[in-house]
Amino acid sequence: MVWQAAAIGIITVLLFFLMLTRKAGHVKLLLGLLTGTCALATMALYLWILHQNGGADKGRELLQLYLPCGLCLLLAAWGWIAAALSQRKLRFNKAAKLARQKRAQDPQ
């Protein structure tokens, strides 16, 4: 199970960096959603593995529990916000295109 969590974590990071290189559009929307979902899956697997191994060591909770979970939540939030902004941009572009078409059809 550790290898699956590590693999999903690596995939999450790769999706995140790929999402950073794209402009707003359908691809960035999909990459943002995948990044957020994979980040939460990574966190869930990590927490499950940590629970199976007896939890975080006393006095080391910051490095063993809070920091990894915080990073996963940060990646998830960043991915979903990027996806929402990309969807907003797509809707704005579609509305602008329809307005241009309507203006072209209505001679004054």
Band of the pLDDT at 108, cuts 50, 70, 90?
low
Total domains in the chain come to 1
State how far Cα 2 lies from the chain centre.
22
Give the mean pLDDT of 16-30: 91
Of 78, 64, 65, the closest CA to residue 12 belongs to 78
Give the structural domain span for 101.
Answer: 2-105
Going from the C-alpha of 47 to that of each of 33, 50, 53, 85, the distances in angstroms are 21, 5, 10, 30
pLDDT digits (tens, 9 = 90+) for 32-46: 999 999 999 999 999
pLDDT digits (tens, 9 = 90+) for 51-83: 888 877 788 788 888 999 999 999 999 999 999
